Structure 1
Amino acid sequence: MIVQTLLQEFEHEVASTRKLLQAVPEKDINFKPSPVSWTMGQLAQHIATIYYWYTGTLTQDVYDMAADRLERGDPADIQATLALFEDNVEKARAALKTVTEESLQVPWTMKVGEHTVLGPLPRGMVTRSFLFNHIYHHRGEMIVYLRTTGNSVPGMYGPTYEQEQAMKNTAK
């Protein structure tokens, strides 16, 4: 039951993430809200990269980030990031389709070399927190970046405030 729910949520949220990444404009790709923040392009690339981590999380009991290499390209190239996103979504979808109710209970650990950074935790918990919720967190940041730079934010769970206002104005 939970596996089917995860697959449905994944597909629904991929569409929302795609809309958000497609809203990132080239003109503001180097915007960063503070000196310690990522640029808009780096944040977009990070969101696209999280989908890559599904494979290591769902198919390995110990995922060593130091041993895993992903060619990301230039974070200032939003088209490259969109292509990275689409490629990683396909890999994530394939990995999710291998999951069983039982495999969600298996302990999972993330390492960077010999250093354990997460776990051991049940794979199902890691799937919700490290994968799903992690993406949602960074999508929220991206919405702030877009609004701060005066860009439109796509409606992901219904119309945005701006879309509602436009509908009210056209109804008058």
Structure 2
Amino acid sequence: MLVKEMKQEAQTTRKMLERVPNDKYDWQPHPKSMTIRQLTTHIAELPTWVSLALATDGLDFATNPYSPVTINNTTELMDLFERSLAEGETALSQATDEQLEPMWTLRHGDTILSKTTRGEMIRMSFSQIVHHRAQLGVFLRLLDIPIPGSYGPSADDSGF
């Protein structure tokens, strides 16, 4: 079921990411917001959290700071997403139910941010993709770029 969900969500994520214009990667709607480059890179890398959750007992941001891949255009963004998705899908398709049960901890030093099973962490990574994809939808709307439908047609889809 998780593999099926991952593949279904990937279709919608592709539709959103491919809409990003090459000249808008440094744009941000507010100084406290991420740039489109930061946001889309994070979205494109999130499928690798599936393999991370399956291969480790957790992640400590204090000892493993986030270092995003540099992307400069939509072709690079889509390539990054497809590589990340392939990695995540492969790991998930080979996982057993028993491998989803051990605990996985997300922390920053002594501060525990989340302690869940590996399976729950995988579901959380899916939710993070949806959450950030929605943020991207707002960014694109503010730039007057048509939004694709996610779970049905969008206001920009013909006839709706």
Global fold match (TM > 0.5): yes
Which structure 2 residue ranges, 5 or more long, are not aligned? none
Contact 2:104 2:115 in 1 (8 A): yes
State the 1:89 CA deviation.
0.6
Instruction: Give runs of aligned pairs for residues 131-142 of structure 1, distance below 5 A.
Output: 131-142=125-136
Q: Structure 1 residue 110 and structure 2 residue 115: aligned?
A: no
Question: What is the TM-score when the length of structure 1 is the normalising length?
Answer: 0.82
Partner of 2:19: 23
1:72 to 55, 63, 69: 69
Partner of 1:124: 119
- Superposed CA deviations along residues 112-154 of structure 1, whole A, max 9, x for unmatched, are 5x5454343211221212x110111000000000001000111
Partner of 1:157: 151
State the 1:71 CA deviation.
6.2
Task: Output the amino acid matched with 1:167.
Answer: G
The structure with the larger Rg is 1
- Superposed CA deviations along residues 48-95 of structure 1, whole A, max 9, x for unmatched, are 111122211122223345458866123x42221211111111100111
Aligned length: 159
Query: Percent identity among equivalent residues?
Result: 31
Contact 2:42 2:68 in 1 (8 A): no
In structure 2, what is the Cα distance between the partners aligned to 1:162 and 1:73? 31
Q: Which one has a larger percent helix, Structure 1 or Structure 2?
A: 1
State the 1:99 CA deviation.
2.1
CA RMSD of aligned residues (A): 2.1
Q: Structure 1 residue 148 and structure 2 residue 142: aligned?
A: yes
Contact 1:30 1:39 in 2 (8 A): yes
